[in-house]
């Protein structure tokens, strides 16, 4: 069977104020080459007397195929974002921003996949979805005073984001379906979703703004949020989480820049990809925590317990790790440039391709580590490091 140029699509952009998506197909014998037009847009949601600018920090495009064969997929890249192709039962493209914290920019007729059409029943469905951790409130106007405390701001913004997800941004933002026969011509479904009455959101905001507490856990409970699960990907700028028990919490991709996390229990927590730049984690308990790819630039980890933690690829430039416990940690490809490791204990750690440029290591004790070259070992000893037999 040879395909003609007469291919039909059903294009459904449910949330065109966030995402505009169009799929194009070029027939080539029995093969169909797929191209993508896509634009990400910051969105201003009106919430009563004020508004909130909502942005996405990720998402995924999934391809479902009926009566056909998937031939190949290609990752996509623009100056603003990447779409990494993941092969599997359902071919998927994972979208992530490159420069800014949020997705923006566009793709224009970008090739991304080829399929083989087996018969007249072949159907292709492409669906763009997000998860709750992909939603962030970038800024607001008229919803609360500028003097709002960081803990309250973090909780109320997160609650708004999750309510928007429940009300509007699921089950998907956009969907495109291709079929060989019907309909006779391509069509765009008029299924644009708008926010219904926002009274519930406004009531929730008022309830939180009148709370007589600034405790993060108490505010989360008042907002009916689970503190160990509902803040993945959230914006928690400068929050105070001192001495809290957040063991096993999911803070993957969470923005915690400048946060006070002294003596906080993050044992076994997922902080991978989190922004912890400038945060104070002095004395924090991070045993077995996942900090892979986390940004800890200029963070304080003095006296922190990082035993068994995964710090692979983490940015620890100029971080203060003095007297921290780094035993059994994975520091593969971590950047420790100009960090302070004075008095640190590093035993049984993976130091493969770890960067020690300008790192302070006076009285730091190294023992039974892997991946450290003899040249780097000698260099560290010259700077005052101690290597135990």
Q: Are residues 174 and 271 located together in one domain of the fold?
A: no
Query: 139: closest CA among 159, 157, 162?
Result: 157
Cβ-Cβ contacts under 8 Å for 49 (sequence gap 6 or more): 142, 143
List 285's β-bridge partners, or say none: 265, 305
pLDDT of residue 248: 98
pLDDT of residue 120: 81
Kindly state the percentage of the chain with pLDDT values over 90.
Answer: 79
**Count of the separate structural domains present in the chain:** 2
Mean pLDDT of 147-166: 94
Query: 357: closest CA among 374, 378, 339?
Result: 339
Answer yes or no: is pLDDT of 254 > 60: yes
Residues 372 and 351: beta-carbon distance below 8 Å: yes
Q: Is residue 133 part of a domain?
A: yes
Quickly list DSSP for 324-378.
-B-TT-B-TT-B-TT-B-TT-EEES-B-TT-B-TT-B-TT-EEES-BS--HHHHH
Residue 57, domain CATH: 2.60.40
Kindly state the percentage of the chain with pLDDT values over 70.
Answer: 93
Answer yes or no: is pLDDT of 192 > 80: no
Lowest mean pLDDT among 80-84, 180-184, 315-319, 322-326: 180-184
Among candidate residues 181, 206, 228, the one where a domain is terminated: 181
pLDDT of residue 190: 47
Q: Are residues 309 and 380 located together in one domain of the fold?
A: yes
Q: Are residues 175 and 259 located together in one domain of the fold?
A: no
Q: Is residue 242 part of a domain?
A: yes
Q: Is residue 212 part of a domain?
A: no
Lowest mean pLDDT among 119-123, 207-211, 332-336, 342-346: 119-123
Residue 114 token pair: 């080829």
Q: Are residues 262 and 332 located together in one domain of the fold?
A: yes
Q: Is residue 225 part of a domain?
A: no
Cα separation, 75 vs 19, whole angstroms: 19
Lowest mean pLDDT among 90-94, 136-140, 354-358: 136-140
Answer yes or no: is pLDDT of 269 > 90: yes
Q: Residue 235 — very low, low, confident or very high, per pLDDT cuts 50/70/90? A: very high
Residue 120 token pair: 């007249």
Helix, strand, coil percentages in the chain from 3-state DSSP, rounded to 5:
10, 35, 55
pLDDT of residue 202: 85
The three-state secondary structure class of 67 is: coil
| Average pLDDT of every residue of the chain | 92
pLDDT of residue 183: 52
Query: 38: closest CA among 92, 100, 110?
Result: 110
Q: Are residues 132 and 247 located together in one domain of the fold?
A: no
Lowest mean pLDDT among 22-36, 181-195, 201-215, 339-353: 181-195
Q: Residue 388 — very low, low, confident or very high, per pLDDT cuts 50/70/90? A: confident
Question: Which range marks the domain in which residue 254 is found?
Answer: 236-389
Residue 248, domain CATH: 2.160.20.80
pLDDT digits (tens, 9 = 90+) for 275-284: 999 999 999 9
Token look-up 């001192």 returns 242
Lowest mean pLDDT among 50-64, 75-89, 180-194, 356-370: 180-194
């Amino acid at each position: 069977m040879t395909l003609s140029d007469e291919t039909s699509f059903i294009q459904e952009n449910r949330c065109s104020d966030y995402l505009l998506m169009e799929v194009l197909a070029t027939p080539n014998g029995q093969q169909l080459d797929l191209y993508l037009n896509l634009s990400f847009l910051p969105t201003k949601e009106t919430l009563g007397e004020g508004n909130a600018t909502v942005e996405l920090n990720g998402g995924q495009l999934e391809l479902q195929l009926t009566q056909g064969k998937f031939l190949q997929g290609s990752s996509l890249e623009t100056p603003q974002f990447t779409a990494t192709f993941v092969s599997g039962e359902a071919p998927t493209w994972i979208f992530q921003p490159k420069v800014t914290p949020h997705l923006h920019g566009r793709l224009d007729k970008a090739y991304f996949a080829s399929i083989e059409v087996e018969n007249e029943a072949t159907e292709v469905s492409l669906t763009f979805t997000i998860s709750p951790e992909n939603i962030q409130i970038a800024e607001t106007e008229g919803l609360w005073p500028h003097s709002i405390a960081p803990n309250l701001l973090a909780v109320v913004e997160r609650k708004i984001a999750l309510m928007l997800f429940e009300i509007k941004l699921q089950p998907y933002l956009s969907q495109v379906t291709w079929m060989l026969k019907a309909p006779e011509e391509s069509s765009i479904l008029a299924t644009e979703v708008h926010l219904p009455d926002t009274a519930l959101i406004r009531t929730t905001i008022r309830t939180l703004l009148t709370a007589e507490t600034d405790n993060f856990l108490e505010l989360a409970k008042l907002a009916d949020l689970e503190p160990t699960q509902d803040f993945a990907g959230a914006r928690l700028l400068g929050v105070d989480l001192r001495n809290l028990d957040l063991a096993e919490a999911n803070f993957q991709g969470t923005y915690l820049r400048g946060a006070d996390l002294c003596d906080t229990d993050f044992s076994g927590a997922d902080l991978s990809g989190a922004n912890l730049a400038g945060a104070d984690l002095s004395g924090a308990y991070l045993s077995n925590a996942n900090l892979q790819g986390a940004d800890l630039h200029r963070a304080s980890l003095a006296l922190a317990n990082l035993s068994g933690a995964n710090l692979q690829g983490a940015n620890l430039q100029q971080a203060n790790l003095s007297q921290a416990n780094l035993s059994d940690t994975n520091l593969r490809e971590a950047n420790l440039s100009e960090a302070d490791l004075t008095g640190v204990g590093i035993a049984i750690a993976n130091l493969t391709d770890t960067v020690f440029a300008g790192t302070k290591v006076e009285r730091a004790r190294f023992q039974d580590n892997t991946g450290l070259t003899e040249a780097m070992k000698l260099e560290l000893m010259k700077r005052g490091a101690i290597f135990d037999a």
